């Protein structure tokens, strides 16, 4: 029996997910929730393998990439997400299965099939906050912040494909958030969406 909540942030690279995870975590803690912040790819063995590939290692075929992300997620759910939810925590995850739907879908796999398989196999989140930005703005933000390049996932036309799939996924648990404004404005939109879903003012 899980009593906690799973709230997921999704969106293109550079959409501001990690900042929004932190800001929402703070807002939830202030009103008394226990919050666990996490992300995919994880820091585990599969996540490590994925990052090495994304940062210019040997490219892998889409099906294999799909299997790696799914394996990483299974571990994430069993070792972190479910145990945290069982103790009543709100789990905030930077990416989850809609990333696989959008990114591996943009690699040419059938995104509807990935979505259906994921909903059957994995815990369906209480809420997904999909941060909407233009792919070119996202790419610009990624370049400006520097850090380690991930050429496997940072090509402009590939990201257009990712954005098109994100825009096509129609599920009641998704809330689109306009993420083109400054982070405080976006955070207010996020809090509003969360308080409507899980109840109580934030």
Binding site for ligand TYD (CB under 6 A): 13, 40-41, 51, 54, 69, 95, 99-100, 103-104, 150, 153
Which one, 42 or 186, has the nearer CB to ligand TYD? Answer: 42
Which one, 34 or 121, has the nearer CB to ligand TYD? Answer: 121
Chain centroid offset of residue 43 CA = 15
Which one, 41 or 161, has the nearer CB to ligand TYD? Answer: 41
Please report how close the Cβ of residue 153 comes to ligand TYD at its closest, in angstroms: 3
Please report how close the Cβ of residue 69 comes to ligand TYD at its closest, in angstroms: 4
Which one, 169 or 198, has the nearer CB to ligand TYD? Answer: 169
Q: Single out the residue of 160, 161, 180, 51 nearest to residue 108, CA to CA.
A: 161
Which one, 150 or 160, has the nearer CB to ligand TYD? Answer: 150
Cα dist from 79 to 44, 84, 102, 111, 172, whole Å: 10, 9, 25, 26, 27
CA-to-CA distance for 13 and 108, rounded, in angstroms? 19
Please report how close the Cβ of residue 13 comes to ligand TYD at its closest, in angstroms: 5
Please report how close the Cβ of residue 145 comes to ligand TYD at its closest, in angstroms: 10
Please report how close the Cβ of residue 33 comes to ligand TYD at its closest, in angstroms: 24
Look at the block and give the residue holding tokens 């293109």: 12
Tokens representing residue 137 in the block: 């703005």
Q: Would you tell me how many other CB atoms lie within 10 Å of the CB of residue 52?
A: 11
Query: Is the distance from CB of 55 to CB of 65 less than 8 angstroms?
Result: no
CA-to-CA distance for 92 and 39, rounded, in angstroms? 8
Which one, 134 or 192, has the nearer CB to ligand TYD? Answer: 134
Please report how close the Cβ of residue 102 comes to ligand TYD at its closest, in angstroms: 8
- Cβ-based neighbours of 64, under 8 Å, separated by 6 or more: none
DSSP label at residue 124: P
Look at the block and give the residue holding tokens 């959008």: 102
């Amino acid at each position: 029996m899980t009593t906690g909540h799973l709230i997921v942030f999704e969106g293109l690279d550079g959409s501001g997910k990690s900042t929004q995870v932190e800001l929402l975590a703070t807002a939830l803690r202030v009103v008394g929730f226990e919050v666990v912040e996490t992300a995919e790819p994880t820091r585990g063995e599969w996540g490590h393998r994925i990052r090495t590939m994304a940062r210019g290692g040997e490219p892998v075929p889409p099906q294999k990439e799909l299997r790696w992300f799914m394996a990483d997620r299974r571990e994430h759910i069993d070792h972190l997400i479910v145990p945290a939810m069982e103790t009543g925590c709100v789990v905030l995850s930077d990416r989850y299965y809609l990333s696989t739907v959008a990114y591996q879908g943009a690699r040419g796999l059938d995104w509807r099939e990935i979505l259906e398989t994921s909903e059957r196999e994995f815990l369906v989140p209480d809420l997904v906050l999909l941060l909407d930005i233009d792919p070119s703005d996202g790419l610009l933000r990624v370049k400006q912040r520097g850090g380690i390049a991930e050429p496997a996932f940072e090509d402009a036309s590939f990201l257009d494909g990712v954005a098109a799939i994100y825009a096509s996924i129609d599920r009641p648990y998704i809330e689109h958030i306009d993420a083109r404004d400054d982070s405080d404005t976006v955070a207010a939109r996020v809090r509003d969406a969360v308080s409507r879903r899980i109840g109580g003012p934030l």
